[in-house]
Each structure stands twice: as structure tokens, then as C-alpha cells.
Structure 1
Amino acid sequence: MEGKTHIVGGIAAGALYLKTVGTVQPEVLFFTSCIAGALLPDICSPTSTIGRMIPLLDRLVSKTFGHRTITHSLFMLILTFMVFRLTHLPEAIELGIWIGMASHLVLDAITVKGIQFLWPLKIRVGIPVGIKTGGTLEKGILSLLTVYIAYVGYQIYLN
């Protein structure tokens, strides 16, 4: 998936959390963290949105592990959770980054390439007929996620 789809996916996942579980304060920090978390797994790609922001780290991770391996895995979700338990960051940051990362993995798992969710096992996890990155189906998903965000935003803030 493209960066813009991951950004909107992270916001949508955050909105889903607020709608189903409850509030996180401050919400602006929560949603900013959802966006950061949604971009973070692509630090393994020099051409990604976050890869272009942190050019040395992206190349190091890419050369060491490759694309859609460790950064797109259950191992990384668990490691991130454990690091957050040690650092005691505000809940809005911890939860937002973790939700954003999880949304990224879900979105990339439905692409043609899938992800190595069980890294270091080289098994790719995805759906049999994946979505082409940047293709028409991705644009449709982006549109649906945008409509969902508007719907939840209306229900939470204007209803």
C-alpha cells in the first residue's frame, strides 16, 4: 500500500478504537501517533514516505532485513509493546503508534506481496488474490477508509 493509504488506515484504526473502546487524551496526540505508527513499518524501504524522512536508518534496515520482513511482523509488534512498557510514554503515544503499526500490517497483508508476519519464518501471510499497490482496488480502499473516518468523526464529535 502507498503511504497515503497507510496514513488514512492509521487514522481509521484510531477512529475504530475510539468508537469501540473509549477515549484517549489528548486525541490530537493519539491520532498523530496513529499516523506515525502507520508509516513506521516501512522504515525498511528507502522509497517509502518514512524512509525518505530518515534516509540512513531506512537503508540500514533494508540491507539488514529486507522489505516486509521484521518491521512487518508479530515480533515487531510485541517488541514495540515491550519497549513502551519500559519507557512509560503517554498512553496516547503508545496506543496510537501500536494501533497505527497494526493497521499497516493488516493493509500490507492484503497486497499481492503479503508480509512475513511470523518473521523470522519466511512464510508470507496474505490473501490469495492480493491488491496491487497503487492500483484501483487500493484507491477504493482509501476511499472507503476516508468515508469511515468521516462517519465516525460525525458520530463522535457532531452527534
Structure 2
Amino acid sequence: MTGKTHSSAGLLIGSMVATHYQLDLFESVTAIVIAGLASILPDICHSRSIISQRLKLINFIIKHLFGHRTFTHSILFIFICYYLLTLIQTPIYYMISIICGMLSHVILDMLTPRGVRLLFPLPVRVRFPIQFKTGGLLDVSLASAFSILTVYILFEAPIKRILTTWI
């Protein structure tokens, strides 16, 4: 999947967390932004990704130690991140935003023919039976759907008011 699809999924997750926990404006924006960032974090191992362009040294180390779609796309990586977030006593709504943002990335990449090494360090690639090409029509459609859902979740009450006046 493309970075746009991953980040739109992350923004959707962040908006769902903000709505569910009824966060104030600052916490809502923070939850949405960190979910969006977390949703592209697993691609730190891909030299052309947005996040790896910003964190070149970390990209170089991870890419050369592990390769693409291995460690950073695994349950092990997500568990380590969860453990570190627990150690620094991250509020639950931020933790859910981060972990679910990263999980969304891994799940979306499991929809591609290449799949992911979910059980890293085991050399098994995991992918769904139905697969889609990165950058293809479904990829773009998912990004659009995630974006529309994000707007709806964030502005549900005003949208309902407008729709009830028109109908």
C-alpha cells in the first residue's frame, strides 16, 4: 500500500480514538497526529518512504540489519513498541492510537502480494488470500474511503444536522 493509504488509515484510527475517549481538542489532535505517524512508522525500513527520508540514519541501520517488511512489520516490533510505551506510562488513548496505527500498516501490507514477515525472525511471509497491487485502484479507493470516514467521524454531529435540514 502507498504512504497515503497508510496515513489515511492512521488518521481514521486516531479520530476513532479521539471520539471514543471524548478527548479535548489538544488531546484529539495529538491522538490523530500520532496515529497518522505510527501508521507510516513500519516503513522506516523502506528508503523511499516519507518517514525514512526524515530519519535517514535509522532507515540505514534498520534496512541493513533487517531488510524491508521484516522486523518493523512483525508482532515482535509491535510488542517492543507496546512495552516501551508502557514503560514511559503513555496514556491509554495515545497507546491505542500508536499501536493500532502500526497494526493498520501491517494489516494493509498483508493485502499485497509480497505480504509481511509477521512472525519475524521466522522466515514466513504472511498475506491475505485476496491481494492488491500497491498504488492500484483498490489502494487509492481505500485511501479515499478512510479519508471520507475520518471526516465523517470528526464532524458527525454537524453532518447529521445538515442532512436532517435538507431531508
TM superposition score normalised by structure 1: 0.89
Cα distance in 1 for partners of 2:18, 2:94 equals 14
Cα distance in 2 for partners of 1:157, 1:96 equals 24
Letter in 2 for 1:69: T
Distance 1:79 1:136, change over 3 A: same
Larger mean CA deviation between 68-77 and 24-33 belongs to 24-33
Q: Deviations over 1:69-117 (max 9, x none)?
A: 0100111111111111111234444332212111111111111211111
| SS in structure 1 at match of 2:40 | helix
Larger mean CA deviation between 123-132 and 75-84 belongs to 123-132
Q: Which residue of 2 aligns with 1:32?
A: 33
Distance 1:151 1:107, change over 3 A: same
Identity %: 30
Cα distance in 1 for partners of 2:89, 2:158 equals 29
Gaps of 5+ in 2: 161-167
Gaps of 5+ in 1: none
Q: Contact 1:33/1:92 (CA < 8 Å) preserved in 2?
A: no
Larger mean CA deviation between 26-35 and 129-138 belongs to 129-138
| SS in structure 1 at match of 2:90 | coil
Alignment: residue pair count? 158
Distance 1:112 1:89, change over 3 A: same
Deviation of 1:12 (Å): 1.3
Q: Which residue of 1 aligns with 2:56?
A: 55
Distance 1:72 1:63, change over 3 A: same
Distance 1:157 1:47, change over 3 A: same
Q: Contact 1:27/1:92 (CA < 8 Å) preserved in 2?
A: no
Cα distance in 1 for partners of 2:51, 2:158 equals 30
Q: Which residue of 2 aligns with 1:2?
A: 2
Letter in 2 for 1:100: G
TM superposition score normalised by structure 2: 0.85
Q: Contact 1:29/1:92 (CA < 8 Å) preserved in 2?
A: no
Matching of residues 4-19 of structure 1 within 5 Å: 4-18=4-18
Q: Looking at CA atoms only, which structure, 1 or 2, has the larger radius of gyration?
A: 2
Runs (4 or more) in structure 1 with deviation over 4 Å come to 156-159
Q: Which residue of 1 aligns with 2:164?
A: none
